[in-house]
Amino acid sequence: MKEERYVRKEAVALSYDPEVSDAPKVIAKGKGMIAENILEKAKEHDVPVQEDPSLLELLGQLNVNETIPEELYQAVSEVFAYIYRLDREKGSRNS
């Protein structure tokens, strides 16, 4: 019999406005119920979610309202490129 193990959810929300900041910043983060709430709000507002445990571990070390360090630019830019592609695909389906 396979034993199922509960894994406590963790989430980090990022925002990027190039007119305000040079880099994306952490706007929310949490574990357990807080992470569940962040993910639920993202779903309610059609905000794409990407699961990347190693990036989550690195971003989880940052504080809320802290911009991401330069060494994470590449990884985070890949996330934003993924989200941009999803938005474009969704837009072309709704046209």
Average pLDDT over residues 56-77: 93
Q: Looking at residue 93, what is its pLDDT?
A: 67
The model carries a pTM of 0.78
Question: Residue 49 is which amino acid?
Answer: V
At residue 2 the predicted structure's pLDDT band, cuts being 50, 70 and 90, is: low
CATH assignment at residue 23: 3.40.1690.10
Rounded (5°) CA angle 14-15-17: 155
Q: Tell me if 1 is assigned to some domain.
A: no
Residue 60 maps to a domain:
yes
Q: 76-86 pLDDT, tens per residue?
A: 988 888 888 88
- Identify whether 5 is part of a domain: no
Sign of CA dihedral 44, 80, 50, 38: negative
| Total domains, the chain | 1
Does the residue 4 lie in any domain?
A: no
Q: Is residue 56 part of a domain?
A: yes
Decide: 36 and 9 in contact? Cβ < 8 Å. yes
What confidence tens digit (pLDDT) does each residue in 11-58 have?
A: 999 998 889 888 999 999 999 999 999 999 999 998 888 888 999 999
pLDDT at 72: 92
| 3-class state of residue 67 by DSSP | strand
Q: Which domain holds residue 41?
A: 10-93
